[in-house]
Amino acid sequence: MRALLATSGGFLLAVLWFDLMFDVQVLGAPVGPLPEPVLASIAGYYARVTIEAAPMGRLVAVAMAIAVLGSARDLRRRTLPLPLAATAVLASAAPVTLAVVRVLPNAVQLGRRLDPPAVQSDLARAICYDHLACFAGILLFCAIQIAAGRRPPSTG
């Protein structure tokens, strides 16, 4: 189970890494609407991965479910020390919740490019900052899974 959780976390980190390769174009940009080439690059990416790539996005949803449900199972079964198990649940559930509630809807909206440039710029910035937070959470989740996999099993 530990390897499956670490693998799901690693997969989610890879997805976030690819997203961030586009998102980082907003970092350091002046306040206000982003330049059109930057918006076109980011919005084009999100149009491909959220709208045009169906049903491949389901694989991301499966990895998210494995991470959250698997860490909740660890918490319920006490297979890890309580503070570690609770942190793993939070480190997986918070980014997944943020992704489902805010990042995905924003990415779909940006990918459609129906809003004025200022709104698209705000969406691109929000997605970037949310992805950075998600990356930190999933990185922590992976670290817990890897560390827990190196622990000798409890005998109690």
Q: CA separation (Å) from 74 to 32, 66, 82, 96, 156? A: 45, 12, 9, 17, 15
Average pLDDT for 49-65 = 91
Dist CA 103 CA 49 (whole Å): 13
Q: How many CB atoms lie within 10 A of CB 39?
A: 20
Q: Which two tokens stand for residue 21?
A: 């390769």
Task: Provide the pLDDT for residue 156.
Answer: 47
- Tens of pLDDT, residue by residue over 118-130, are 999 999 999 999 9
Dist CA 93 CA 155 (whole Å): 29
**Domain locations along the chain:** 2-150
Dist CA 118 CA 121 (whole Å): 5
Check pLDDT > 90 for residue 56.
no
Query: How confident is residue 47, by pLDDT bands cut at 50, 70 and 90?
Result: very high
